[in-house]
Structure 1
Amino acid sequence: MSRPARQQRPPQIKIRTVRNRSTGKDETRYELVLDVGIDPDTGKRKQIRRRFRTEKDAKDALAELSTEVAQGTYAPAAKGFTVAQAIDEWLAHKGMRLKPTTLRSYRVTLQPVRDELGDKTLRELTEAHLVSLIQRLRAGEVRRRDEDGSLTEGFRPKWSGRSCNYLISITRQMLRSQQRQRRVSHNAAEFLESVEQTDSKAGAILSEANFYRILDHEDRDRHLWWLALHGLRRGEIAGLRWDKVNFESGILTVSENRVVVGDQISSGTPKSKASQRHLPMSDDLMDVLRAARASQRAERLALGQDYGSGEYVASDATGDPYHPNLLTFRWGKLLDTLGIPRVRLHDARHSSVSLLIARGVDIPTVAAWHGHQNPAVTMARYAHSQPEALRSAAAVYRRAE
């Protein structure tokens, strides 16, 4: 049987020999030269010229670029426009409509991309560059940098799978913006696969017994822990003012978010439109809040003119609002006092979702109570099976006597 004829190399691809400056050795490259139309400014023929390590990579690029040219979607990469410039431009544009905390999370997440790949042009950036960076972030092999960008002796801590997937998502968005502006024809992050999230903290919730131990514990900040276990975020607790607690109507209005941005505290609306909500208070919650209000009034009388505004529900003995980080610190001390294994303050919110679902509250209602725009988020991120609920489920399989 005769061998199949070897597929001829397309005429647009030529073999070139180049000198590797690092090793001093000659290496083979496959150079792609493709006509992409006429330059409207000069009237001359335009060509792109790229080199690849393998013939397959060159052929794949030829097929992709030829399709783009034929369909009229080809966009020549902006010469000299770097990844760092693209990131800075995108963040500046996003800063006009994002909350400070979200913008900061974008900036922090993209910082390794800027540090490690920022000097490359958009044309040079490839999926392989991003894959290598993510692998090194996962392994803790990316060096720290000072504010001026210079390398330090230390390394960044290992990144979780969730953090790496966030980086992939934001990088993909940034590069799509560059595609829309026709600065680059391909998105190096478009087909990046998600990192397996084996480091999820999905089980970090309170048992039902510990949930009620916290509610029953007498503490100056008891009312704050009630709010946390009723599903309010830390920033929503820190930003709740007494004028938003209506004891006559029994409605608590969540409309302000006090969060830490760098070394500053920022106050604004909650993180989404759905997070701005009006929650009916149970009689027990109103009793706890009334007791806290009375205690703060007594502190105002004792301190006199030196007392602060006292307008926030989370205020210290002098009437000044709590720093949001102080809520986290006091929550940890509370758990230690009660001998409860530490979970994050935000996990009180997870526990709230799980308890309501276990008690049979429908998912859309649970989502609305906790300020989720999409009920699917409620199920995917916050609902965890309690051991008690699992035992109840197991009982279903028992043979009826």
Structure 2
Amino acid sequence: MARQQLPPQIRKVEITDRRTGKPVPRYQVTVDAGEVDGKRKQRRKRFTTEREARGFLSETQAAVSAGTYVQTSKTTVDRACADWLASKHKLKPSTLRGHKTKLQAVRDVLGEVEVQALTKRHVDDLVTALSAGKVDGRAKWSPRSINYMLGLLSNVLGDQQKQGNLVRNVASLVDRRASEPKKFRTLTDAEIFKILDHDCRERHLWALALYGMRRGEIAGLRWENVDFKTGEVTVAENRVAVGREAIVGTPKSKASSRTLPMPQEVVTALKAEKLQQKRDRLALGSECSESSVHTKWDYVASDEGGEPLTPTTISFRWGKMLREIGIDHVRLHDARHSCATLMHLRGVPIAVIAAWLGHSSAAFTMATYAHSQDDALRAAGTSFR
């Protein structure tokens, strides 16, 4: 049988063996690898045998024809993460900061690995190290943090896939870590009334928190959005902690922009604070002229000098207040959980609770915010007698 002629994409060449100095045959493949950014690309590679060369040519042509061929890329994991983060123009600063923090662990450990060389084993080993607290400069990561990181890395690699730089997303193949659901301690009726009755400068803030407002919504509430005639509070701004700064932005979601008809006790507390701020302003006299104060006294949550309180400061004062009145520590955000739970136990429809809290999903509200309390469980037990 006559020897099969080489296709035009394969050329037999001779190279010099570095060890022996003698010429040796090689089969050089030059194949059309498709178009990138409007330019035709070629792939060139040498093989020891004709069979290997023909196999590579056949596989490459089939992949190019099917649109699944991936161009050779030297993009590293660090570069891919940086590019993905830079493309997230619509994220809130606090969300973007969280993404950067979690991906930094990936960049520190795997940053120099080329994306096309990244394997599932690389990611599995990183997960194991983070879970055991064996990554330099980092404490042991919780399953929640691990899964957060894996989700972000999967998005980064998915973006590389869409750009034609990857065949598969290895992060999507890594098992997520099982975690226990977060346990919340909600405040009882007695504890809520104890907080509301406590005479302190921040009483109006705790009232807003216990009636379901987020910390960022409380920190961002301006007096112009409090209507004393109707007793309504409009959530129109959010101030969140990003590092050591307080960043002003829009509410957390579209559903979070809402107007709440507050109970009389909340309105009374707000009126008392408004009067106190007026006294503080008068006490400072000429130092607080309208032209020099800018945003001073604009916010419901302000200190004695009219400066808006940061979200971190509000949380600190919450903890201090709980210690003063002898209530075991709960997060400020758990006041919001308490509001949802008590509304649910008192028969308020879950859709109404979701709207009050600023959620777009009633199912999320039910699953995340409505918790049973010991008192409620005991009351339920009596219904079987």
Larger-Rg structure: 2
What is the TM-score normalised by the length of structure 2?
A: 0.81
1:181 to 1:317, Cα distance in 2 relative to 1, 3 A:
same
* One of 226, 231, 236 as aligned partner of 1:255: 236
Say whether the 8 Å CA contact 1:276–1:371 is kept in structure 2.
yes
| Residue 165 (str. 1) matches residue 165 (str. 2) | no
1:343: which partner in 2? Answer: 330
Following superposition, the deviation at residue 215 of structure 1 comes to: 1.3
Change (3 A) 1:45 1:84: closer
What SS is found at the alignment partner of 2:280?
Answer: helix
Change (3 A) 1:43 1:226: closer
How far apart are the structure 1 equivalents of 2:322 and 2:245?
27
**Alpha-carbon shift at residue 75 of structure 1 (Å):** 4.1
Counterparts of 1:1-400 in structure 2 under 5 Å?
Answer: 38-40=32-34, 41=40, 69=63, 72=66, 74-76=68-70, 78-94=72-88, 96-144=89-137, 156-198=138-180, 200-307=181-288, 308=293, 309-398=296-385
- Using the TM superposition, give the Cα deviation of residue 376 of structure 1 relative to its aligned residue in structure 2, in angstroms: 2.3
* Identical-pair percentage: 45
Contact 1:299 1:318 in 2 (8 A): yes
- Describe the superposition over 1:47-96 as per-residue Cα deviations: whole angstroms up to 9, x where unpaired: 99xxxxxxxxxxxxxxxx99x949935241542111111100000010x2
Cα gap change, 1:305 to 1:362, in 2 (>3 Å): same
Q: 1:179 to 1:42 in 2, by over 3 A?
A: closer
Relative to structure 1, the CA distance from residue 71 to residue 226 in structure 2 (aligned partners, 3 Å threshold; closer, same or farther) is farther
Amino acid at match of 1:124: A
Aligned CA-pair RMSD? 2.6
TM-score (norm 1): 0.78
- In structure 2, stretches of 5+ residues that fail to align are 1-28, 35-39, 48-58
The separation in 1 between residues aligned to 2:355 and 2:65, in whole angstroms, is 45
- C-alpha separation in 2, matches of 1:284 and 1:248: 14
Alpha carbons 1:38, 1:46 under 8 Å: kept:
no
Aligned to 2:37: none
Secondary structure of residue in 2 paired with 1:310 = coil
Distance of aligned partners of 1:44 and 1:87 in 2 relative to their CA distance in 1, 3 Å threshold:
closer
Distance 1:43 1:339, change over 3 A: closer
Cα contact 1:231–1:353 (8 A) shared by 2: yes
| 1:15-73: CA deviation from partner (whole Å, max 9, x where unpaired) | xxxxxxxxxxxxxxxxxxxx9x842446668899xxxxxxxxxxxxxxxx99x949935
Q: Report how many residues are paired.
A: 335
Structure 1 gaps of 5+ residues are 1-34, 49-64, 145-155
User: Does the 8 A contact of 1:372 with 1:378 survive in 2?
Assistant: yes
The alpha-carbon distance between structure 1 residues 135 and 204, as it changes in their structure 2 partners (threshold 3 A), is farther
2:205–2:218 Cα contact (<8 Å) kept: yes
CA distance in 1, matches of 2:245, 2:108: 25
Check the 8 A contact 1:202/1:382 in 2, yes or no.
no
Provide the C-alpha distance between the structure 2 equivalents of 1:311 and 1:270, rounded to a whole number of angstroms: 18
Deviation at 1:380, TM superposition (A): 2.4
Amino acid of the structure 2 residue aligned with 1:157 = A
Q: Secondary structure of the residue that 2:247 maps to in structure 1? A: strand
Judge conservation of contact 1:78–1:122 (CA < 8 Å) in 2.
Answer: no
**How many Å apart are 1:225 and its aligned residue?**
0.4
Distance 2:249 2:46 in 1: 51
Deviations 1:281-331 (A, max 9, x none): 112211111111111112112221224521100011111111221101100
